[in-house]
Amino acid sequence: MSGLPDHLRRPVRGMRDWLPPQYYALRHMEEVLCKVAESFGYRRVETPVVEHFEVLAKKAGQDVINEIYYFKDKAGRDLGLRFDMTVPVARVLSYNLELPRPVRWYYFTKVFRYDEPQHGRYREFYQFGVELVGSSSPRADAEVIQLLIASLEAAGASNFYVRINDRRAVDKLLEHLGVAPYRDIIYKALDKKLKLPREDVIKIMTGGGVSKEIAEEIYNTATEITIQEAVELLYKLDKALGASYEKIVKYLEASVPMERLKFDMSIVRGLDYYTGIVFEAFVGEYKLAVGGGGRYDDLLELYSGVKTPALGFAIGVERLMEAVGIQNVERPLDYYIYIFDDDAYKYAAAVAKKLRTEGYSVVVELGEKGLKDAFEYALKVGARHIIIIGRKELEKGVIKVRDLEKRIEVEKPLSQFLA
């Protein structure tokens, strides 16, 4: 038998397998991030991976719709795999209107996007995120950004920053310049500003009908400034917007290190449901954003018919793991028990049971290896100790415990494991 062809032995394109060291790294990140969310009073939620296609496409925008894993089930229903958790959360809340507001939920789960796979981008990937639903207070905006910063710190990111913008500021700028009808193409160009050369970003705008002079002005305005400078800029664009943003800044100054924050009008986010403040997080020299989010005050109304302010963020877990250098976490085996024959098996089982109840991981040899091969196997799987139970040990009423790290061997009474 030749077995499967090579391409079928590998994961489907854009997917990945998680071997134990990689999976334990993922679980470590899950524990760290979920602990932060819980400490802020958020509670975990999960939804089905499969949603009605109409639910997913409601406010996704054509680019995102093109990335949805779409299929028909046997009943002929149009379905799709969730591309984020914000939309499913909005659906869940649409029939749980009696929940006390604001709702604070978080998640750590898989999402799917039929995008072009590349470095740092899979079609199946994990997201950690939070949703704060039912508050339009600037304190809510500040809280979510606080939580994002706390999450990055807990994950081990030392050199990171968060770029903040407000879509309403961009809209006001476009109105002022007389190019509001070109909003979609300008947003598309701004979203590429951190990824493409200047001339390519300008070309996207001019190719969509914006004059080169206006395109240059938009590009120059959409630059990085301090959070405090942004307050002045937003006041000039719109007094109400400036006043609202100033409150957010005041709350942030009281709660987070301001050197972590920058204002950048090119941050607009790709999803069409954002309505106000938006932000993205970057770690060190890692060029891709590891996370982002913003306010989506109109999204829930599409599902429930009730106007409901909301905001949140999501972190791409695999990207964050790569950015902070956590790719593998080894979990050593505590004890490997070797016996020479079946007569000793009942004693090996008793020793293993005792050690497991004390919280240790234990493997009992299956009787297929000689002592030399057993030692080699124990070393390869990272065992810390090997326990030997042979006839001599049983005659003396002991077990032999060898510490493979310190290279010392001791005998322990068998009776202490049989009680």
Q: Mean pLDDT per 10-residue run, the chain (419 residues)?
A: 86 95 97 99 98 90 88 97 95 95 98 88 96 97 98 94 93 92 91 89 94 93 90 92 94 95 88 87 87 95 95 97 94 96 94 97 95 94 96 94 95 89
Residues 344 and 315 in one domain: no
**105 is in which domain, residue-wise?**
6-169+255-324
Is position 222 within any domain? no
Is position 293 within any domain? yes
Residues 80 and 140 in one domain: yes
Residues 57 and 129 in one domain: yes
Residues 51 and 111 in one domain: yes
Is position 129 within any domain? yes
- What pLDDT, on the 0 to 100 scale, is given for residue 64? 84
- Which two three-digit tokens encode residue 160? 């990171």
Question: Of 267, 301, 324, which one is at a domain's C-terminal end?
Answer: 324
| Number of domains, the chain | 2
Residues 18 and 144 in one domain: yes
Is position 74 within any domain? yes
* CATH (domain of 41): 3.30.930.10
* CATH (domain of 367): 3.40.50.800
Residues 317 and 396 in one domain: no
Residues 99 and 163 in one domain: yes
Residues 160 and 272 in one domain: yes
Residues 40 and 144 in one domain: yes
Residues 286 and 371 in one domain: no
Is position 398 within any domain? yes
- What pLDDT, on the 0 to 100 scale, is given for residue 268? 87
- What pLDDT, on the 0 to 100 scale, is given for residue 70? 96
Question: Of 324, 353, 383, which one is at a domain's C-terminal end?
Answer: 324
Is position 160 within any domain? yes
- Which two three-digit tokens encode residue 313? 């963020």
Is position 246 within any domain? no
- What pLDDT, on the 0 to 100 scale, is given for residue 284? 84
Residues 300 and 344 in one domain: no
Name the pTM for this structure.
Answer: 0.91
Residues 412 and 272 in one domain: no
Is position 291 within any domain? yes
